[in-house]
Amino acid sequence: MLKGKRIIITGSARGLGQAFAISLVEKGAHIVIADILETEGSAVANSLQKSGYDAHFVQVDLGDPRSIEACVSQSMKMLGGLDGLVNNGAIATGIGGVSMEDIDIDVWDRVMNVNVRGTWLMTRAAAPFLRQSSCGKVVNVASDTALWGAPQLMHYVSSKGAIIAMTKSMARELGNDNVCVNAIAPGLTLVDATEYVPKERHQLYQNGRAISRAQLPEDVVGVVNFLLSDSANFITGQLLPINGGFVMN
């Protein structure tokens, strides 16, 4: 179902994005790992290539419009076309624990530029190629913090809320070209970046889930694979929370 699909995954040098990238190549997709982290991203691509998979690294700064244009054009040279885009890259780490009164305006702007504007500009640059695919797919990675209003993280939460709204507009604008646009809203998932989240926040999530256990990357990858596959050709503009029932949509 994903064999031969050409897919860009942003923010895939580590964490959830890396888990998406590995799962996609294992299913026969050709991928570009697009991330600001050159050393880590190249290492992931090299290791996948050594295992015989078709994976490339392209450096991108999602906060820089020119870098985004260059990333998509370089990716097209590598992939020869585009069937899927996973807008996963984001400033998601090291910005929590700050009250709305104390959020630094420069940090707010950077979070919005990378998380929101970056998602728009990546999709805008990719759209002409996705339109040429028989059934292009965009998966936007939001967060369930935007559904329950996690405190002390308002810039991040607001950026993820914007991504949920943007997904619906994008779906309407791209639908007639058979491009589906959906969003996922993972709950707190165990990756390197969430090791530093206070234990109490991990416990709060675990206690509030209908399935009361820690959330792992493998709880999320299958949903992304499905939304990128031909099985999801008539699903668009939707938000899928993946959080063991912490928030029920």
Ligand X SMILES: NC(=O)c1ccc[n+]([C@@H]2O[C@H](COP(=O)([O-])OP(=O)(O)OC[C@H]3O[C@@H](n4cnc5c(N)ncnc54)[C@H](O)[C@@H]3O)[C@@H](O)[C@H]2O)c1
Q: Which residues bind ligand X (CB under 6 A)?
A: 10-11, 13-17, 35-37, 60-63, 88-93, 114, 141, 143, 186, 188-189, 191, 193-194
Minimum CB separation from ligand X for residue 182, in Å? 14
Report CA Rg, the chain: 17
CA distances from 27 to 5, 30, 188 (A): 9, 9, 26
CB contact at 8 A, 24 and 2: yes
Residue nearest to ligand X (CB): 15
Minimum CB separation from ligand X for residue 244, in Å? 12
SS3 of 35, please? Answer: strand
Side-chain half-sphere of 63: how many Cα atoms within 13 Å? Answer: 12
CA distance 58 to 31: 10
53 is known as an active-site residue: no
Minimum CB separation from ligand X for residue 150, in Å? 10
- Between 37 and 164, name the residue whose CB sits nearer to ligand X: 37
Q: In 3D, which of 210, 3, 11 has the Cα closest to residue 92?
A: 11
- Between 63 and 244, name the residue whose CB sits nearer to ligand X: 63
- Between 135 and 162, name the residue whose CB sits nearer to ligand X: 162
Minimum CB separation from ligand X for residue 43, in Å? 12
- Taking residue 195's Cβ as centre, other Cβ atoms within 10 Å add up to 9
- Between 178 and 194, name the residue whose CB sits nearer to ligand X: 194
> Any long-range contacts for 160-163 (C-beta under 8 Å, 24+ apart)?
160/115, 160/185, 162/112, 162/115, 162/116, 163/87, 163/115, 163/116, 163/119
Catalytic residue, from 53, 156, 196, 205: name it.
Answer: 156
Which residues are the active-site residues?
156
